[in-house]
A and B are shown apart, each in its own frame.
Chain A
Amino acid sequence: MARKSMLKVIILGDSGVGKTSLMQQYVNKKFSTQYKATIGADFLTKELTLDDRRVVMQIWDTAGQERFQSLGVAFYRGADCCVLMFDVNNAKSFEALDTWRDEFLIQANPTDLENFPFVVIGNKIDVDETRRAVSTQKAQRWCAQKGNLPYFETSAKEATGVNQAFDVIGRNALQQDDVEGFDQEYPDGVDFSQYEQERSDCAC
Chain B
Amino acid sequence: MGLVDERLVGKGQYSAAVYTSKHIAVATPHSIAGYSIRDGVLEYEIATPGAVSSLVWSRDRGMLAVIANGRCYLQSVKDRRKTFDFGTTSANSVAAAGQYIVVASKRRLRYLVPGPVFENSLRELSLAVSMLDLSATGKALCVVKNNQVAIVDLTAQRVLQVPLTLPEPPIKVACFESSGLVISGKRGYFLTMSGKVVAVIDWKDTPLDIAPIDDGVFGVLVNGKLEARNPLTGYLLAQIDCNGSSLAKNLVVGSEIIGVRFHITAEDVLSLDITEAVPLVDQLPEIAADPRIRILRTEYADTLVDEGEISRALKLYTVAETPVQQVVAKLRPIIESIPTEESNDMSSVFSNRTSRTTNSNPTVESTVRYLVQARRKLFILAAAEERPVNAEDATAVDTMLFLCYIKIHSPLVGPLVRVDNFCDVETVRSTLLSIGKWKELATFLSGKGLHVEALELLRDKANDPQIIDYLVRFAADDYDLTTKFSRGPISRSPQLAITLFANSKLNKVKLNDFLADINESLAWELLERWIRDGDQTSELHTRWAIKLVKDESPETEMFLRQSKIYDAKKVLKNVTDPLLQAILYGRLKKHDKAIELYITAREYDLCEVYCDEIYKDSKEEGIKAVQTLYNVLLETNTTDRLISLLNTQGTRLDFSETLEKLPKDLPCDSIVPFLMLATRRLSHNVKTSQMEVAASKVYLGEQAFAAVKAAQVSATVTSTTTCSVCHKRVGKSVIGLTDHGVVHYGCL
Q: Which residues of A contact B (CB under 8 A)?
A: 66-73, 98-99, 101-103, 105-107, 109, 111-115, 145-147, 186, 188-192, 195-199, 201, 203-204
Contact = CB atoms under 8 A, between A and B. Distances in A.
A114 B90 contact: no
Contacts of A101: 352, 415
Contact of A204 (B105, B125, B160): B105
Given A190-B158, A197-B126, A204-B89, A113 B418 contact: no
A98 B195 CA distance: 45
Given A145-B353, A186-B160, A203-B126, 5 more contacts: A99-B419, A107-B372, A109-B369, A192-B158, A192-B159
Interface of B: 87-90, 105-108, 124-128, 144, 150, 153, 156-161, 194-195, 351-356, 358, 368-369, 372-373, 375-376, 378-380, 383, 401, 409, 411-412, 414-416, 418-419
Q: Among A72, A101, A109, A199, which residue has the most Cβ atoms of chain B within 10 A? A: A109
A106 B372 contact: yes
Contacts of A199: 124, 126
Contact of A102 (B89, B195, B415): B415
Provide the main secondary structure of the chain B interface: mixed
Q: Among A69, A146, A147, which residue has the most Cβ atoms of chain B within 10 A? A: A69
Given A69-B376, A73-B369, A186-B156, A109 B418 contact: no
A67 to B, nearest CB: 7
B409 A109 contact: yes
Contact of B383 (A66, A147, A189, A190): A66
Contacts of A146: 352-353
23 contacts: A66-B383, A69-B378, A69-B380, A70-B380, A73-B369, A73-B372, A101-B415, A102-B418, A105-B354, A106-B401, A106-B419, A109-B409, A112-B358, A113-B411, A114-B353, A115-B356, A147-B353, A189-B158, A195-B144, A196-B127, A203-B105, A204-B89, A204-B105
What are the 9 A-B residue pairs with the smallest beta carbon separation, nearest first? A69-B379, A102-B415, A114-B356, A113-B354, A197-B126, A203-B107, A105-B415, A203-B108, A190-B161
Nearest to B416: A106
Contacts of B160: 186, 188-190
B376 A68 contact: yes
A190 to B, nearest CB: 5
Contacts of B356: 112-115
A106 B105 contact: no
Contacts of A204: 87-90, 105-106, 108
Contacts of B383: 66, 69-70
A133 B102 CA distance: 62
A188 B195 CA distance: 9
Contacts of A147: 353-354
A40 to B, nearest CB: 12
B412 A203 contact: no
A107 B418 contact: no
Q: Among A67, A70, A186, A195, which residue has the most Cβ atoms of chain B within 10 A? A: A195
B738 to A, nearest CB: 62
Given A105-B354, A146-B352, A190-B158, A196 B415 contact: no
A198 B128 CA distance: 12
A98 B159 contact: no
Contacts of A109: 368-369, 372, 409, 412
A204 B358 CA distance: 54
B681 to A, nearest CB: 50
Nearest to B421: A106
A101 to B, nearest CB: 7
Contacts of B379: 67, 69-70
Nearest to A195: B127
Contacts of A203: 105-108, 126
B352 A69 contact: no
Q: Among A105, A189, A197, which residue has the most Cβ atoms of chain B within 10 A? A: A105
A180 to B, nearest CB: 15
Given A101-B415, A109-B412, A197-B126, A114 B354 contact: yes
Given A68-B376, A69-B379, A190-B160, A196 B126 contact: yes
B387 to A, nearest CB: 14
Contacts of B106: 203-204
A44 B664 CA distance: 99
A71 B377 CA distance: 10
Contacts of A189: 156, 158-160
B157 A201 contact: no
B159 A190 contact: yes
A48 B355 CA distance: 33
Nearest to A111: B358
B421 to A, nearest CB: 9
A147 B156 CA distance: 37
Q: Among B156, B161, B378, which residue has the most Cβ atoms of chain A within 10 A? A: B161
A68 B157 CA distance: 34
Nearest to B88: A204
Nearest to B414: A102
A203 B89 CA distance: 10
A64 B107 CA distance: 54
A199 B409 CA distance: 49
A15 to B, nearest CB: 15
A71 B380 CA distance: 9
